[in-house]
Structures are given as C-alpha cells and as structure tokens.
C-alpha cells in the first residue's frame, strides 16, 4: 500500500512540474493558480517524505 501511494505522489509531482514548466514557457504571469499549485505540490511532497520516514 505504501508503494502505491509513493507512485501516485510521484505522478502528481511530475504532472505539476510539467504544468508549471509549460506555463513558464508560454510566458504566463505567475498568477494565483500557479501559486496554489506550488503550495499543493509542497504539501504532497511533505506527505511523501513523512510517509517514507515513518
């Protein structure tokens, strides 16, 4: 079960980085959507680290 959650976290992380990179390449302004997305990715990453070390 832990391995499945790790894989899901990695997929979400890669997708988030890809979305942010596409937005950056198109020259979009760093709006509230990107800011909220980074906060969500950080929370997911913290949860991933927490589940790995426990």
Q: At what angle do helices 2-25 and 32-53 cross, to 10 degrees?
A: 150
Residue-by-residue pLDDT tens, the chain, 54 positions: 577 777 777 887 788 778 777 777 776 666 666 777 777 778 877 777 777 776
Q: Where are the domains of the chain?
A: 2-53
Rounded Cα distance, 6 and 3, in Å: 5
Identify the residue whose tokens are 């927490």: 50
Number of C-beta neighbours around residue 11 at 10 A: 10
């Amino acid at each position: 079960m832990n391995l499945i959650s790790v894989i899901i976290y990695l997929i979400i992380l890669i997708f988030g980085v890809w979305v942010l990179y596409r937005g950056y390449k198109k020259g979009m302004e760093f709006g509230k959507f990107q800011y909220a997305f980074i906060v969500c990715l950080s929370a997911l990453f913290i949860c991933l680290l927490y589940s790995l070390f426990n």
